[in-house]
Each structure stands twice: as structure tokens, then as C-alpha cells.
A = this chain, B = another copy of it.
Amino acid sequence: MKITCRKDLLNHAVQTVQKAVATKNPLPILTGIYLAAQDNRLQLQATDYEIGISCSIEAQVEKPGAIVLSGRYFQELVRRLPGETVEIASNTEDRTIRIASASAQFNLLSLPAEEFPVLKPLSSDQSFTVKDNILRELIKKTVFACATDEARPIFTGGLLEADELGIRMVATNTHRLALKKDVLDAFGQPGINSKVKMIIPAKFLAEVARLLVSEVPMDVKVSWHKNQVSFEFDNVYIIARIIEGQFPDYNKVIPTNFATVAEINTDQFGAAVERVALLAKDGDYNIIKFSFKPDHIIITSNNPDVGKACEMVGATMTGNEIDIAFNARYVLDIIKNIDSELLRFSLNTPLSPACIKPVDDENYTYVITPVRTS
């Protein structure tokens, strides 16, 4: 292999695939980045068998071929190269790869390219396209609610649904649930012949959102086949395994009628909850208490080892007064994701699930289960 390419493009491609490079995998080949040159393109790939990412860039290909370089060193190096272009050439005598840029020259040992599990695009006729900004919001506003505990795999992923009603993503750890909906202009396009419904690993979704940063609007093609799903956009292709299992009917857990509805300034509420949470007891449940009154909410915590906190935040309430306790982190997580000035906190009883929403977005819903206190 022998190619020349722009350094900034190469660096962007290396940073793109970098997250899929295995760091702890027992298979050495997975700690590498695969480079394949052909037809004036250089393709980079990395996979840890959970996620696979491929990114291709323009290159002058003098001699086609494929090599694998240490992900760690190649990434550190490319980032710092001095020139505007980079030349990469394999040395046929030893197993080294020469990387030259301006006055810098490196000879990196390569890994055996034939051992790399090269990513192949899914051969699928099942796909649809979605705007990048819509997909990014779907992920960002829900994926934090996934379970991190691997005990119940279906909750470590986000459920993606698409049908004639639009596109939706749902995530839950059974104690709280986030649902974000949007329109899907493209529904009905060839490829979607039935309702789409699949659970996609949270780690993978977070990576897709990280890569969706283009300032130019673009389409993302979502394809699936058997137990795999891929997202394709710009010059990037990213693939992962679909989580098997049945996601529970989330509509059943979203309450629709409420005995208490309060509207609260999002920033003030967030700051107050954060302060009270400082004194919440460490451990699994950072319990803080909320007392909903007609024109304000009193938020308190009590940590026998540290002290007590009490905050008052103005609110417009209709319905019944209520005292209720929540895990502080679950409340903070949603407040951080609400962009509107006001949020709506809707409740029923101290032991039934409550609902938090931005007042101006009917398409975003968060359900949170209260904590029983003595």
C-alpha cells in the first residue's frame, strides 16, 4: 500500500473510528485501526465486536492495499503530524509502515491485516432515512435513562420505533423512563414494509450522537438485517448488534391523568435541586423530598452525618398539595435535558409515577417513580 492524503481528513477519520478501537480486548488485532486503499479512497475501520465504525476519505492511491496499525499510537501520531499532507507506505521487507509528513518520519510496526474482521455493509433491503438533527435529539434526550446494569440487557439499550405516526426513542431502567417523539417525513419510502421496532445498545447510540455533529443538514440511513443495525451518513458507517428481547409496553407506564400539576422555572428548579442533593445521603438512593404547595415547592434533604437542606422555589400549581420523595439524580438528569424556560411536573400520589415535561414540547416525556420514605 502507498497513499498520500490530507492530514486534516486523516485526523478526522482516525478520531471518528477511534471509539471502536478495543482497549481491553484479549484479541490484539482489535486494538488496531485497519486502513484499506483503493480507487482514490482510503477507508479506516475499527471494531471491538460491540461497535464497528468505518470512515472513508479521499486519497491519492499509488498502490492499493490494506494494513493495520496500533490504534493508540497511530491516533496520537496523526493528531500531531506537522505537514498538510501525509504519506503512508508499507515496507515490503519488514512489517513496518512508513508515515511521513513534512520533516517527520515514522516507521510503525503493523499488525497482520488478514486477521482483521473487516466490516461489510449490511446486505439489507430494510432501511429508512431520518434527518441527522432529529436522530441526535432522539438519542440525546433519552439514552441517559438506560440501565447501566447488564443484568437485564433489554434496558441497556434504547428502543427505536418508526411507523406511520413518526419516529420515537424510549429508554428506561425501570425506575425512570424517557420518551422522545418526532416526525418521520420519509415514512412510506421503499424499504419500510412494516413497523420498525428494535432495541439498540446505549453505548452505540451515544457514539452515533457524538458523530452527528455536521453543521450541514444531512440524511442518516438506518438499515437492519437479522440481529444487526447500521447507521450511515456522510462518509461514516457504524454498525452494532440489536439487543434481543421484548421491550415492555411503555405506553402503559406513562400516566395520563394527574391530581397535581405544577409549572416551575427550569433553571431555578435545577439549581435548587442540585444544592439540596449535595446533602442527600450518599449511596444508591440520593433521596430528596418535595412538598408541592399552591404557589411554591419546598425541597429538602436530611443527611444525619452532614446536615439538612431546605429550598423554596416558586411554582404555579393546580390540584392537590402533595409530599413526595425522589432519587435526586433522576430529577437532575431530566432537568438538564429540558431546554424550555418552564417545566411541568405532574403527580398523583406519593407512591405513583410522576411525569416531568418541558411545557412547550408535547413530544418529550419523562416518567419517574417516587421513593418510599418512612
Which residues of A does B touch, CB under 8 Å?
70, 73, 76-77, 80-82, 96-97, 103-109, 271-272, 274-275, 278-279, 305-313
Contact = CB atoms under 8 A, between A and B. Distances in A.
Contacts of A70: 306
B274 A310 contact: no
Contact of A73 (B97, B103, B271, B306): B306
Assembly of this chain: how many copies?
Answer: 2
A198 to B, nearest CB: 41
A305 B109 contact: yes
Nearest to A76: B278
A313 B82 CA distance: 11
Contact of A278 (B80, B307, B310, B311): B80
Contacts of A279: 73, 106
B73 A104 contact: no
Contacts of A97: 307
A307 B271 contact: no
Given A271-B82, A272-B82, A275-B80, A105 B311 contact: yes
A275 B311 CA distance: 53
24 contacts: A73-B279, A73-B306, A76-B278, A80-B271, A80-B274, A80-B275, A82-B271, A82-B272, A82-B275, A96-B307, A96-B308, A103-B311, A103-B312, A104-B275, A104-B310, A104-B311, A105-B310, A106-B275, A106-B279, A106-B307, A107-B307, A107-B309, A108-B307, A109-B305
Nearest to A305: B109
Nearest to A100: B310
A77 B278 contact: yes
Contact of A107 (B82, B103, B308): B308
A307 B109 contact: yes
Given A80-B278, A278-B73, A278-B77, A309 B272 contact: no
A307 B105 CA distance: 11
A248 to B, nearest CB: 37
A264 to B, nearest CB: 13
A62 B80 CA distance: 60
A105 B309 contact: yes
A109 B302 CA distance: 11
- 9 A-B pairs with the lowest CB-CB distances in the bound complex, closest first: A108-B307, A103-B312, A107-B308, A105-B310, A107-B307, A106-B309, A104-B311, A109-B307, A80-B275
A104 B298 CA distance: 10
B278 A313 contact: no
A313 B105 CA distance: 12
Contacts of A104: 272, 275, 309-311
A91 to B, nearest CB: 11
